[in-house]
Chains A and B, each alone.
Chain A
Amino acid sequence: MGALGFALKALGRDARGGELAVLFWGLAVAVTALTAVGFFTSRVAQAIQQQAGEVLAGDLRLEAGRPVDLDDSYAREAARRGLLVARTLTFPSVVYSGETGNLALIDGVSPQYPLRGRLRIADAPYAPGRATTGIPARGEAWADSRLLARLDVPVGGTLKVGALTVRVAHVLDYRPDQGSAFVAFAPTLLVSYEDIAATQLLQPGSRATWSLLFAGPSAAVEEFEGWLRGRKSAAERLVDVAESSDQLKSAMERSGRFLNLAALATLLLAAVAVAMGARRYATRHLDTIALMKCMGATQRFVLTVTGLELLSVALAGATAGIAGGWVAQAGLAWLTRGLVRGGLPAPAFAAAWLGVGTAVAILIGFASPPLLQLRQVPPARVLRRTLGPPPLRYGFTYVIAAGTLLALLYALVRDAKLVSYVAGGLLATGAALYAAGWLLVRATRSVRGAAGVAWRYGLANVARRGRDSIVQIVAFGLGLTVLLLLAVVRNDLLDEWRHSLPKDAPNHFLINIAPAEADNLKRFLTSNGVVVPELAPWVRARLTAINDQPVGKRMPHSDRGRAFVEREQNLSWSRDLPPDNRLVQGSWWHDPDPHRPLVSVATEYQEELGLKLGDRLTFDVAGETVVAAVANVRKVRWDGFRPNFFLLFAPGVLDTATGTFMTSVHLDAAQRPALAGLVRRFPGVTVIDVETVLGQVREVMDKAALAVQYVFAFTLLAGVIVLLAAVQSTRDERRYESAILRTLGASRRTVLRGVAAEFVALGLLSGVLAASAASIAGWLVATRLLNLGYSFDPGVWLLGLGAGALLVGLAGTLATRSVVNTPPTTTLRQA
């Protein structure tokens, strides 16, 4: 019989004997959690990609300040590749109603527009909108509520743009590419692309943006993007969906991290369970392997058979896990239904391969060390049972396991920061648990004389089992850490996240507030019952030099970086660090010296331009040159819906510059009609409605919170499996000890109390350690990974002690009860 056949038979026998249960379930749960998240996120990612396309009104957008694709070559190539194409042309101009004029953004669009997302129209200014297909007919326009309110023109009225007269057919409620950034925020007048020429406004050199939109299957778009990059001129800028709405992206990213975190925690626990299961498997197979060797089995044969058997377990666990993951992702999709408009696409099957790879990798990393050891069992063990394989080199074992785990985690999430935190946390927790376990084991040696017989027996066991006790403490501790993280810290984190966007989060930005109007505007808002926060100063400026080198000489490669250099930027100043900002480098100014101008930059700006602390940035602020040194770098939470800036100056630097103010306010449905009054009374002020984006972000948060709880259920299951594996690891030894003690006259009660004392002691210690680890992990995850605040919860320690003593004590005692209940003769005969 070949090794494979032998391994399959051995698999059947071991499965029948329940030897492989911990390994199988550990792997199955890990793979279920991973593939469920993998399948689900693949679906969401595809949907998000499509949805993010809405922000561009297409999947890809080519922009330029002069006509693009005059010879139609780009459009023809795109059409040849099966892509849809649309054109838009936007420019600012004053729109007249009779003698009254107002600055507007004229947006001419071709009939295919928009390629992604839908236009929404309404029948009266600020009335609820409805989705529509099609664009304004020739001679017609769809106008923004603000424009109609300012010009006091009803639907059906006429407007004049240059030489063109148009009839207002509808109110334009929403266009997909209206964006939420604060550039050129004049109200929009949407007209047909073909009508633009009739305005006679565009001359060579006019300030206008010509855009070409493309959409289609993602692979085709990607290929076309590559083709286009090779041909477009430097003046033509490619915008893809990665540069979509910062707020929504930020919320999506954070929920993705939450989900990955849950899956990683499950994986980690499963790995611990597998390691313990493999240790037990190896211990229980020592005799059989010695016997097989005695009968002529070679080391290689033993290794092959064990390896094949375990590989079969991995494949069985992975298959069960993938099936479980497939079902579980359907549950996730149901929980988050409606999150993505138009439903989720089918999951990518790649996650299944990830599941198989994960199962095999966990097994190799965590089960191979004890199995390699099995190969070295001396055959003479059949004559002397005290003979065992050479002791496992723990350092070697952990290096393999840690290396495998890190590689696996990185392959899974491709997020070096998340992996380094999880790995560092695991290592630190494991080391702390190991050290504390060692101390406890030492301590029990000295106290056991003072305790009663049950405790003496229990504590003696903890001390005598030495390394096994420490391993158990580490396993219990890790299991409890995750359980506590789930029970307490998870809720705190999710609450913290939800609270970061309260019910009254700002849903409207007010920009272009002239300094002279600021007080009047505040009064107007207050009289309408709106709470007005501080106004942030706002100045537009262009970056001209970095460290006295003109920026043209070090143009960034990415389009976003180029935009930072080529476009006017929004600058502001502040004495204090704004609420949604966290310092990541440098220090905040407390008492800035006006003669040494300082500027604070957001991480995005710093990364794109490769800035360092102390770099000197030169700006052209309305013809005046301002030079400031980079004092610090901030990580900004863009989904806080408050005015935030890439560039923030110390007070006193820009005070003389002519700028305006901006703020964000919350308006409920009843307050919204006041907007019409506001735009009439303060025609210079621009109101930007971000309610839609806010709603999207809030929906992402709510649904993601549900999804995270769901995935954490698997982590909980993995935690329970670890506890069981840890209890099981010393079961055989306990069975024998209990038989001896009972033979010597100890009652079942005494033996059971001894076992309970041992597990309660292990549980108490693991509980305290786990509570500390969970609190630190929660704090790190909140502040470093998710960019949220975190407050320590003393309840975790109480819960840790209680849960440790109760869960470990009860689980351990219950699981070993059958050991005590077995008649001693049966046990001794089998020994």
Chain B
Amino acid sequence: MKVLDSRHLTKEVSSPDGTLTIVDDVSLGVEQGESVAIVGASGAGKSTLLAILAGLDTPTRGQVFLNGAELTALDEDGRAAARARHVGFVFQSFHLVPSLTALENVMLPLELAGEPDAARTARRALDQVGLAARTAHYPRQLSGGEQQRVAIARAFVGRPDVLFVDEPTGNLDTATGAHVADLLFDLNRAARTTLLLVTHEHHLARRCDRVIELEAGRLVRRAG
């Protein structure tokens, strides 16, 4: 069954030079538990496609279905509710809230979803990424690799159906990056989460079940 299905997605923006097409007629289906890498050069439209598929942005034309429900037919609050139930994120720049400790950052999605025992669940998630000793640290007191591990714990803690990952190792050195990537794929396998990964690193893309490539907003290659 397709967890995520997109049909003829197009995203246009206006610029001083006229209309720019960022994503151009992209149709894509992702099966339950599948991991898909989206690769392409800078400016190919990878992040915009990810944003539209995750319901963070809206397409100019086309449709997105998440768990069978049309995401593109919903308003901002409807999409927010869908994200809360089904989606998790890991970003290149971590996006931890600087005023919250590691534990509080992981608790955040649970608190937003109104889960009763957020602290205990979050502590367990931090333990899984090897940061049990760092719960009271603020992001500025953590290294880049540690910050990304907190972000990964935060992404998995709500048991999402689909995990959207944007350049997870882009801000990390090679060794740390490899370590974080291992952690991400291990957790993904264990939780059987569907994974959609945007990256320009081929070794990372190759670890996915399927790789698709974008060029100037168009889908040019599918490999699996």
Contact = CB atoms under 8 A, between A and B. Distances in A.
Contacts of A383: 47-48, 50-51, 56, 91, 166
B98 A292 contact: no
B113 A17 contact: no
Count chain A CB atoms within 10 A of each CB in B47, B99, B166 and give the residue with the most: B99
Nearest to A5: B111
B81 interface: yes
B83 A294 contact: yes
Interface in A795-831: 826, 829-830
A142 to B, nearest CB: 78
Interface stretch (A8-16, A33-41, A86-94, A241-249): A8-16
Nearest to A831: B93
A298 B77 contact: yes
Interface residues of A, number: 31
A293 B80 contact: yes
Interface stretch (A374-382, A640-648, A768-776): A374-382
A830 B99 CA distance: 12
Contacts of B57: 378-380
A292 B89 CA distance: 11
A294 B56 contact: yes
Contacts of A14: 99
B71 to A, nearest CB: 13
A296 B88 CA distance: 10
A181 interface: no
B95 A295 contact: no
Interface residues of B, number: 35
Contact of B99 (A1, A17, A291, A297): A17
B77 A300 contact: yes
B99 A13 contact: yes
B51 A296 contact: no
Contacts of B8: none
Contacts of B112: 1, 6, 292, 295-297, 301
A70 B87 CA distance: 91
Interface string A288-332: 100111111111110000000000000000000000000000000
Interface string B64-102: 000000000000110011111101010100010111100
B99 A9 contact: no
A16 B82 CA distance: 32
A382 B84 contact: no
Contact of B56 (A9, A287, A299, A382): A382
Contacts of B179: none
A829 B145 CA distance: 13
Contacts of B50: 383
Contact of B118 (A1, A17, A296): A1
Contacts of A17: 98-99
Interface string A617-644: 0000000000000000000000000000
A294 B163 CA distance: 12
Contacts of B89: 294-295, 382
A471 to B, nearest CB: 25
B42 to A, nearest CB: 13
B111 A380 contact: no
A808 B85 CA distance: 51
A54 to B, nearest CB: 61
A384 to B, nearest CB: 7
Contacts of A298: 76-77, 80-81
Determine which residue in A288, A292, A296, A299 has the highest number of CB atoms from chain B within 10 A of its CB, and name it: A296
Contacts of B97: 287-288, 291
Given A294-B89, A380-B51, A383-B51, A6 B77 contact: no
A160 to B, nearest CB: 93
Identify whether the interface residues of B are mostly helix, strand, loop, or mixed. helix
Given A298-B81, A299-B77, A830-B98, A384 B47 contact: yes
Interface in B28-70: 47-48, 50-51, 56-57
Contacts of A829: 144
Contact of B80 (A9, A19, A297): A297
B166 A292 contact: no
Given A14-B99, A287-B95, A830-B98, A295 B83 contact: yes
B110 to A, nearest CB: 8
Interface in A355-384: 378-380, 382-384
B208 interface: no
A19 B50 CA distance: 33
Contacts of A295: 83-84, 89, 108-109, 112, 158
A726 B70 CA distance: 46
B18 interface: no
Contacts of A390: none
B206 interface: no
Contact of A299 (B47, B76, B91, B113): B76
Given A291-B95, A379-B80, A296 B85 contact: yes
Interface in A5-50: 6, 9, 13-14, 16-17, 19
Given A298-B80, A298-B81, A383-B50, A2 B114 contact: yes
A382 B95 contact: yes
B111 A9 contact: yes
A125 B118 CA distance: 90
B5 interface: no
Given A13-B99, A830-B140, A1 B104 contact: no
Interface string B4-17: 00000000000000
Contacts of A297: 80, 84, 112
A375 to B, nearest CB: 10
A382 B140 CA distance: 19
A289 B135 CA distance: 22
Interface in A477-527: none
B99 A19 contact: yes
Given A1-B114, A292-B108, A383-B56, 6 more contacts: A13-B104, A17-B98, A295-B109, A296-B85, A829-B144, A830-B98
19 contacts: A1-B111, A1-B112, A1-B118, A13-B104, A288-B99, A292-B108, A294-B56, A294-B83, A295-B109, A296-B80, A298-B81, A379-B83, A382-B91, A383-B48, A383-B50, A383-B91, A826-B140, A829-B144, A830-B140
Closest 5 pairs (CB-CB, A-B): A296-B84, A17-B99, A298-B77, A380-B56, A380-B57
